[in-house]
Structure 1
Amino acid sequence: MPNDSELDTKSAERIPAKRVLGLAVPALGVLAAEPLYVLVDTAVVGHLGALPLAGLAVAGVVLAQVSTQLTFLSYGTTSRTARLHGAGRRAEAVREGVQATWLAVLVGLVLLVVGQLLAGPIARVLTGSDEIAAAAVSWLRIALFGAPLILITMAGNGWMRGVQEATRPLRYVLAGNGISAVLCPVLVYVADWGLEGSAIANVVAQVISAGMFVAALVRERVSLRPDFGVMKAQLGLGRDLVLRSLAFQACFVSAAAVAARTSAEAVGAHQVVLQLWTFLSLVLDSLAIAAQSLVGAALGAGAARRAKGVAGQITGYGLVFGCLLGVVFAGLAGPLPHAFTTDPGVLGEIPHAWWFFVALQPIAGVVFALDGVLLGAGDAAYLRTATLLSAAIGFLPLVWASLAFGWGLIGIWSGLSAFMLLRLASLLYRWRRGNWAVTGAVRPG
């Protein structure tokens, strides 16, 4: 006799593919906007010379941790907002966005103050060079004023995705980054502000985007008063997502450190393949964002079968897209690396990572899709534990063993493969059991 979960899975409802793409494609635009702006910024500063470029590289890594570690302001807000939206409680859903925005302001101000105090010591630790550290600090002290604004934009993306408005966030982010991309060379070269001009342009982008998200909240005509009870609940979900992000950071920082201790050629090859991995992650993560919004809304409406149908449907899309990407990049194995480097040593090392990267694309497609499903269901505690265990059991032992035994990039990417396979197994187990599909406008704690 089949159990209720099996019956729900067999009779799960599907939704039109057009609706999934209507959320995923604009989300991809938002995800890609920031990396594309960083490329423009890097190209502009790169013409100032090696020292300003090195300073931007170091300072950019530090500032990027703000968005990397605080993704709960977007992903967590989407989960909570989507449930309320699915339950037909739009005003309450938008108020989640209000509280996430207040939280962004409070956390952002703390980061601004702490960042100003620690900018110098952090830059010196990362660089080991007083000249590069000075350049990094000159950029970072200005750019940090954008930290609260970055977080406001993340919160804005979160609540708008939750109420299934995909195009407005894209317009807001493109407006800020587009104007800033034009302004950056003007401030750097014409105004002759150099590296500091780049930082000012960066803050201008955040002011424009964050201002548009705040104006959108005001137009919703809901209460803008802070509610510390709601903020506390959001922080509870945020704690699990921050710990999950830390697991990712531990893995990738360890991989970079081991590659750097292997050889200059190995770290160069690792950087090329890792950047391609990161870019394709954005493509696949857009499906995960669609899954968050649709699954959360279905569960908020009490439609567990629909949520399970969306989960299976988007997981299938992720597998298909992952397979296609694997085929495409297998075909590009010969010519594409030459677009990044002409160094024979680096080109000789790239194949040691390339074929792992290619083979992992179908796995990544499923993993990212199921990540989005469980995030949409608010199942962050399970994701936290599964990611931490996958990192501790799979990635880190193989990565550090590759340093001890001289396995090089093969060892590093074997570690990444083990990490992804363990995540895949844990996510498939959770998905098939079906107990993540807890209905209600608010997921029980």
Structure 2
Amino acid sequence: MIAAPFYLSIMVLQGAFRGYQDTRTPFQIMILANIVNLVLCPLLALVLKMGVVGAGLATAASHLTASLGLLVLLFKNNMLRVADLWRVRPFQGSLSLARTGAILSVRTFSILSTVSLATTTAARMGTKELAAFEITRQIWALFARMFDATSVTAQSLIPLHLGRGKYTTARAITNRLLSLSFAVGILFAIILVGAARPLAQLFSRDPVVVALVASCFPVMGLCEPVKGNVFVLDGCFTAGRQYVFLSGCILFACLGSAASLFLVRWASLPLPWVWVCLNLMMVLRGLILTQRYVHPKYSPIPVQDIPASSSDKQPPR
């Protein structure tokens, strides 16, 4: 709870730097924050015998470091002034931000709820199944964080060209990111499918857990190229300000995944089927977003550029 305000401020401050096309500064600050966590966690938890409390304090210290570091650099680089903090914002503008935040929170809530349902489904199968699922979920989240770099790139570069009416350039950037993320997804798939058992043995010595993890990795791997493209399209639709459609798409995909998870429970299917259900969430998102992206009328990035005199126009929402 101590770290919660600092964690939220990190999200806001990172977004501010991205708005200025600066992703290097947050990257450097987050490296420093992780070093702080890496040093303090074993020191407090193990050396000083503080256990989980020490680990929590280490995490809080790292969040405090990142938050203060980003805030100081925001002032130092003249991206923010002290007077800006005391300026009264128009109510309409604040209401618009709150509305957008509420819409996007549907996306976050849907994904977290689906993953939580998958976790409880694995827990109903047994302790070893739950242990195996948690291992695979961490790898899934790790690859998702890597793919998130392409989403951030899309959110940073595409609005710049949309605002100038250079839709052709924005679409070219999106297509290039889609190709790159798909290639990286294939690489991740090869790793998960080709080295499933050696990877599983890195996380557990229990033969049952190792076997379960090894059986799940190939199922996860098959969806990695799709997942890569989904992250790019998420960034593209966010850049195009199609928040309602994006959240609705994710909600629909998560409902489909949740329904399939209940089917897994009813049929007492093994653990790999839980990952089939989570893959379904990604596939549905990918299909819906791709169909919208290529649509000549409703795409977040129109096909043709607009004249310079009309550059203040926005793409259809």
TM-score by length of 2: 0.87
1:290 maps to: 153
Q: How far, CA to CA, are the matches of 1:342 and 1:203 in structure 2?
A: 32
Distance 1:228 1:443 in 2: 25
Equivalent residue, structure 2, for 1:8: none
- Amino acid in structure 2 at the alignment position of 1:364: K
In 1, the alpha carbon distance for the partners of 2:40 and 2:90 equals 38
Unaligned runs of 5+ in 1: 1-143
Query: Aligned letter for 2:224?
Result: Q
The alpha-carbon distance between structure 1 residues 267 and 310, as it changes in their structure 2 partners (threshold 3 A), is: same
1:232: Cα distance to partner? 2.5
The question of 1:344 aligning with 2:207 is answered: yes
Q: 1:192 to 1:331 in 2, by over 3 A?
A: closer
Aligned to 1:277: 140
Q: CA deviation at 1:187?
A: 3.7
Partners of 2:312 and 2:268 lie apart in 1 by: 52
2:249 is aligned, of 363, 383, 386, to 386
- In structure 2, the CA distance between the partners of 1:267 and 1:199, relative to structure 1 (3 Å rule), is closer
Change (3 A) 1:382 1:182: same
CA 157–226 in structure 1, closer or farther in 2 if over 3 Å, else same: farther
Match of 1:205 in 2: 62
**Cα offset, 1:443, TM superposition:** 7.6
Offset at residue 329 of structure 1 (A): 2.1
By how many angstroms is 1:226 displaced?
Answer: 4.4
Secondary structure, aligned partner of 1:217? helix
Deviation at 1:192, TM superposition (A): 5.3
Aligned equivalents of 2:267 and 2:207: distance in 1?
24
Change (3 A) 1:184 1:270: closer
Question: Could you tell me which amino acid in structure 2 is paired with residue 273 of structure 1?
Answer: T
Alignment of 1:142-153 (within 5 A): 144-153=1-10
Give runs of aligned pairs for residues 210-225 of structure 1, distance below 5 A.
210-219=67-76, 220=78, 222=81, 223-224=84-85, 225=87
For the residues of structure 1 that align with 2:313 and 2:69, how far apart are their CA atoms?
Answer: 28
CA contact (8 A) 1:184 1:201 kept: yes
Give the residue type in structure 1 aligned to 2:60: V
Larger RCO (CA under 8 A, 6+ residues apart): 1
Partner of 2:126: 263
Residue 329 in structure 1 maps to residue 192 in structure 2: yes
Contact 2:104-2:243 within 8 A present in 1 as well: yes
- Once the two structures are overlaid, the 10-residue window that deviates more, 434-443 or 155-164, is 434-443
Q: Is the 8 A contact 2:103 2:247 kept in 1?
A: yes
Amino acid at match of 1:272: I
Residue 156 of structure 1 aligns with an amino acid whose one-letter code is: L
- How far 1:213 moved relative to its partner? 2.0
Residue pair 1:319, 1:362 contacting (<8 A) in 2 also: yes
Find the counterpart in structure 2 of residue 361 from structure 1.
Answer: 224
The residue type equivalent to 1:212 in the other structure is G
Alignment of 1:108-257 (within 5 A): 144-188=1-45, 193-219=50-76, 220=78, 222=81, 223-224=84-85, 225-227=87-89, 229=91, 230-257=93-120
Which residue is 2:287 aligned to?
425
Q: 1:443 to 1:187 in 2, by over 3 A?
A: farther
Task: Give the conservation status (yes or no) of the 8 Å contact 1:302–1:440.
Answer: yes
**1:226–1:181: structure 2 CA closer, same or farther, 3 Å change rule?**
farther
TM-score (norm 1): 0.63
Matches within 5 A, 1:85-124: none
User: Are 1:414 and 2:271 an aligned pair?
Assistant: no
Residues 22-68 of structure 1 deviation map (CA, whole Å, 9 limit, x = unaligned): xxxxxxxxxxxxxxxxxxxxxxxxxxxxxxxxxxxxxxxxxxxxxxx
Query: How many angstroms does 1:272 deviate by?
Result: 1.9
8 A Cα contact 2:189 2:218, kept in partner:
no
Residue 376, structure 1, aligned to residue 239, structure 2: yes
8 Å Cα contact 1:398-1:411 kept in structure 2: no
Query: CA 1:199/1:436 → structure 2, altered by over 3 Å: closer, same or farther?
Result: same
Residue 366 (structure 1) shift: 1.1
Q: 2:197 aligns to what SS in structure 1?
A: coil
Change (3 A) 1:344 1:195: closer
Distance across 2 between alignment mates of 1:192 and 1:262: 34
Residues 129-151 of structure 1 show CA distances to partners (whole Å, capped at 9, x for unaligned) of: xxxxxxxxxxxxxxx12211111
For the pair 1:437 / 2:301, whether they are aligned, the reply is yes
1:57-109 per-residue CA deviation (whole Å, 9 max, x = no partner) reads xxxxxxxxxxxxxxxxxxxxxxxxxxxxxxxxxxxxxxxxxxxxxxxxxxxxx
> Structure 1, residues 400-437: CA drift from partner, whole Å, max 9, x if none?
11111111224312212221211111010111015312
**In the superposition, relative to structure 1, how do residues 195 and 375 fare at CA in structure 2: closer, same or farther (>3 Å)?**
same
Bigger Cα displacement from structure 2, 209-218 vs 183-192: 183-192
Superposed displacement of residue 297, structure 1: 1.1
The one-letter code matched in structure 2 to 1:417 is N
Q: CA deviation at 1:211?
A: 1.4
Kindly indicate whether residue 168 of structure 2 is the aligned counterpart of residue 305 of structure 1.
yes
Shift of 1:155: 0.7
Q: Which residue of 2 aligns with 1:95?
A: none
Q: Indicate the RMSD between aligned Cα atoms, in angstroms.
A: 2.2
Structure 1 residue 209, shift from structure 2 partner = 1.6
Say whether the 8 Å CA contact 1:157–1:169 is kept in structure 2. yes
Distance in structure 2 (CA, Å) of the matches to 1:311 and 1:280: 20
